[in-house]
Amino acid sequence: MKEFGLSKQKLFSLTRQTLEKRIRKFYFETKDGKAAIEMLITLQVRDDLCEADFSNMLRSLVQHIFLKTRSTAAMRRYYFYFTTYFQEKDWQLLLIKLFPAQTFIAEKLEHLYTQVIKAPSTRLAES
């Protein structure tokens, strides 16, 4: 992992409040969503390894990055680590934003499937 203003040592030693301030400041100065996401994933690891609570850090920043900025490969790669940061409605919007081609194909397949299912029943009614 690259160092984006915060070293690995600092990510595992600073308090939650300090990290929140520094990551938020870093993001709004650089607009580097990939780096912010990677730092937040590192803090999820820290949350699993220690007793201090680092869960759902910077929820509003994560939602801003994923929902309000342009979709990137890093967002598509790491989106699954942030499922708890979104409500069901926002999660559906995020999936449509991150994977528009897959969403389009899924909708077309669903439409085709409903036509195939309905077609035999209408033929039976006509007979």
The proportion of the chain whose per-residue pLDDT surpasses 70, expressed as a percent, equals: 82
Q: State both tokens at 95.
A: 């999936």
Position 121 scores a pLDDT of 53
Q: State both tokens at 70.
A: 């342009």
Give the whole-angstrom CA distance, residue 68 versus residue 48.
28
What's the pLDDT tens digit per position in 41-81? 999 999 999 999 999 999 999 999 999 999 999 999 999 99
> By three-state DSSP, how is residue 120 classified?
helix
What's the pLDDT tens digit per position in 100-109? 876 567 666 6
Q: Are 1 and 8 in contact (CB under 8 A)?
A: yes
Q: How confident is the model at residue 39 (pLDDT cuts 50, 70, 90)?
A: very high
Between the alpha carbon of residue 94 and those of residues 10, 68, 125, the distances in Å are: 31, 10, 42
